[in-house]
Amino acid sequence: MSDPIDFYFDFSSPYGYLAAKQIDGIAARHGRSVTWRPHLIGAVFPTTGSKPLLDIPLKGDYARRDLPRTARRLGIPFNLPKQFPFMSVAAARAFYWLSDGDPAKARELALALYDRAFGDGEEISNAESVVAVASGLGIDADALRAALNEPAVKERLKAEVNAAIERGVFGSPYIVVDGEPFWGHDKLAEIDAWLESGGW
């Protein structure tokens, strides 16, 4: 029962951002830890036949209304970046490059990137934007800049994305607790109840 919770998310996912601001707190209330697992949701679209949420007619309009409303309820700053959807490859590579050596720093970077994208509504899609955010956290800019083009770093992200798809991860956030998958920000309260009760 004490396995870490797997938190799958895409850096370009606004609901992933809202969940990222809450998941560690929910887990901690129940003495649980969280493994953060950025993936690339676009990689699964050919399988599910989906596309970026805000580009879907009607559903996109709904999300544009629901996102700021949900953020307001939670007291979380929310601004959609002008350029949306955006590529999140550089952000995810940076995360995994850091995470083996220093998972806490990787999580700090993830939250800072998310805040930049969906709190401030600013660009995090190109490598230099990611480096700038990382640099602000004391991460070596030159080392990161070089890492983002290293084959091993690229392969690491590919492997993580493939493993996520293999596991059935099709959205963001997608959270696995005690082997049970929960899809979507709207499931956070149910996850909290699951952790509280030990399941049902």
Residues that bind its own copies (CB under 8 A): 44, 47-51, 56-59, 61-62, 65-66, 69-70, 72-73, 165, 168-171, 180-184, 186-187, 189-190, 193, 200
Q: Which is nearer to its own copies, 15 or 95 (CB)?
A: 15
Q: Which is nearer to its own copies, 128 or 180 (CB)?
A: 180
Q: Which is nearer to its own copies, 128 or 196 (CB)?
A: 196
Amino acid at 32: R
Q: How far is the CB of 142 from its own copies (least distance, A)?
A: 39
Q: How far is the CB of 42 from its own copies (least distance, A)?
A: 14
Q: How far is the CB of 173 from its own copies (least distance, A)?
A: 12
Amino acid at 146: A
Question: Which regions of the chain does DSSP assign to beta strands (E)?
Answer: 5-9, 34-38, 174-177, 180-183
How far apart are the C-alpha atoms of 102 and 107, rounded to whole Å? 9
Q: Which is nearer to its own copies, 66 or 108 (CB)?
A: 66
Q: Which is nearer to its own copies, 35 or 70 (CB)?
A: 70
Q: How far is the CB of 47 from its own copies (least distance, A)?
A: 5
Per-residue DSSP letter, 53: G
Q: How far is the CB of 53 from its own copies (least distance, A)?
A: 11
Question: In the structure encoding, which two tokens stand for residue 139, read together?
Answer: 């991460």
How far apart are the C-alpha atoms of 144 and 101, rounded to whole Å? 13
Residue 84 phi, psi dihedral angles, 5° rounding: -150, 135
Instruction: Tell me the C-alpha to C-alpha distance, in Å, between residue 1 and each of 31, 172, 178, 197, 200.
Output: 10, 24, 6, 12, 14
